[in-house]
Amino acid sequence: MSFNPSLTARLRIGFVVLFALLLIVSLLGVGRLFQIRVHYENDITRYFQLELESERLRSAFILEQAAARPATAHQQPSQVELNQAAASFSDAASRARDLTDDDTVLVAKLNQLVASETAWRKKVAEPLIHEQVPPAPVERRLTSAVTNSGDALATDTRAARDTARDNARTDTRNTTILVAAGLGGALLAALILFSGLINSMRAPLGRLVEGARRLAGGDLRTRVEVGGPVEIATLGRAFNEMANSLERDARERDRIEQMKDDFVLTVSHELRTPVTVVKGFAEMLTAQRKSLNSRQFEAAEVIAESAGQLQKMINDLLDLARSDAGKLRIEAEPTPVRSLAQRIGRQMRPNFEGKAQSFTVSVEKDLPDIDADPGRIGQVLANLLTNANKYAPEGAQVRLAATKVGDEIEFAVSDNGPGLDGDQLEHVFDRFWRADSTETQSVGGTGLGLAIAKSLVELHGGRITANSSPGEGATFRFVLPIAKDGRPNREAPTRRTKAGAAG
């Protein structure tokens, strides 16, 4: 790009060029029209004067005739009067000559008139003065030659005047057309210039808008082609610098996130081995009740229980770390809803009985299979039921229901416990969040259950929501897609029922 003036320079050049063109065209046009007008007026004046002179020539000739051949019989032809009339004829002829402006036709006509007058004076007037009457045919011929020449000069002068007027009209019209064409041309040039200017901005600006949209959409590799006027090109470069810096930051952030995820993943994984050992040995001790005294047994029980909690917490953390790292995978398969709900129900029932809570499981008849990882959805249900069990008071009612809603299956876990207010509902799926921080001691648990439940449900392509108002209990609902060949399942015994019975 050798010549790339800035936007302001382009605008300035455009305005100057347009202004200059309009000025030149206008001045030339007006000047030319003025010139035509002046020329025309001069011509018209001249031809009027010439006509006047030809009238004078005619009257001078009449005086000459009167001097040579007086109208009344008692008057004598007068040499003096003839000379005077001839002098005024000659004066008029010389003024007329000046007025012909070298028009060949008019000059010829004037010469003819002067020549015929000279011939008439010589052949008719002079002999009459000297009382020699010329032959009548000669006198008639020469007299009518002068008269005819005078008429011809007058006629031609009028014709010349008409021609001058026609020429002036034609010139005026042509000049007007030329000026109009010139102005039109100048405007057209301006239009081309400005549309060129707009076009030179449009493409790079369009690219910038498109780039900004893509960048806002999260595509951090977006760069724009730098081009157009200097200002736009500068904007393009600034945009690319911004995108570079955003991408660099994002990459750095990703790297740190990755490090954090890897760290949590590794730590959780490494923690599991010793916890497994502690739990295993503690459980072994509690199984040997007979060989322990009551305090030793109590200690072994507490160790086993704590190790169990620790193991659960580490598993939850590991699940979340995997989820963050995109490594949490599910193995979805057509899963019967009833047997899944009943298995988790059986597993959880002792907890509800322990707090004298009533617990019901209701599954709609003939539900189609869900497309889900039974272990993971069991984990979600267990997490929701554990929360209901923990937060609802003794004697409360807890219900697990599964129904078909549209083309999805909805699971709902509801209780008639203390419920949650709006602010609490907003954070209920956050990590390590608790309805009340003072409950940490009394309720226990990791505060990760609902966060994991959300991750797992979303991984299945489902949605989870919480509904509650203080004092009216809480309901957690999640929906899951129906399996592709999800015919209503008659709940034939599956291989999983054994595991359920053992749980």
Partner 1 sequence: MTRLLVADDSETVLLMLQRRLEMEGYEVVTATDGVEALERLRELSPKEPDVILLDAMMPNKSGTEVLEEIRGKGSKIPVLMISAHLDAQEPERMRRLGANDIVPKPFEWEDLIGKIEELVTP
Positions that interact with partner 1 (CB under 8 A) = 269, 272-277, 279-281, 283-284, 287-288, 311, 315, 322, 327, 329-331, 502
Q: What is the closest distance, in whole angstroms, from the C-beta atom of residue 337 to partner 1 in the complex?
A: 23
Which residue type, as a one-letter code, is found at position 170?
T
Burial of 22 (0-12, 13-18, 19+ CB in 10 A): middle
Q: What is the closest distance, in whole angstroms, from the C-beta atom of residue 499 to partner 1 in the complex?
A: 8
Q: What is the closest distance, in whole angstroms, from the C-beta atom of residue 422 to partner 1 in the complex?
A: 38
Residue with tokens 């002999």: 127
Q: What is the closest distance, in whole angstroms, from the C-beta atom of residue 288 to partner 1 in the complex?
A: 8
Residues contacting residue 263 through CB under 8 Å, at least 6 positions apart: none
Reading the block at residue 51, the tokens are 């006509």
Task: Compare residues 60 and 265 and give the one whose CB is closer to partner 1.
Answer: 265
Task: Compare residues 146 and 448 and give the one whose CB is closer to partner 1.
Answer: 448
Task: Compare residues 207 and 279 and give the one whose CB is closer to partner 1.
Answer: 279
The dihedral through the CA atoms of 30, 31, 33, 38 has a sign that is positive
Residues contacting residue 450 through CB under 8 Å, at least 6 positions apart: 383, 384, 387, 428, 429, 433, 476
The dihedral through the CA atoms of 233, 234, 235, 236 has a sign that is positive
Q: What is the closest distance, in whole angstroms, from the C-beta atom of residue 373 to partner 1 in the complex?
A: 9
Q: What is the closest distance, in whole angstroms, from the C-beta atom of residue 307 to partner 1 in the complex?
A: 10
Residues contacting residue 355 through CB under 8 Å, at least 6 positions apart: 389, 392, 393, 394, 395, 396
Q: What is the closest distance, in whole angstroms, from the C-beta atom of residue 309 to partner 1 in the complex?
A: 13
Strand order in the sheet with 397-405: 358-363, 397-405, 408-415, 474-481, 463-468
Task: Compare residues 276 and 360 and give the one whose CB is closer to partner 1.
Answer: 276
Task: Compare residues 280 and 444 and give the one whose CB is closer to partner 1.
Answer: 280
Task: Compare residues 280 and 393 and give the one whose CB is closer to partner 1.
Answer: 280
Task: Compare residues 282 and 340 and give the one whose CB is closer to partner 1.
Answer: 282
Task: Tell me how far apart the alpha carbons of residues 98 and 107 are, in angstroms, rounded to a whole number.
Answer: 10
Nearest 5°: CA angle at 62, between 57 and 68?
125
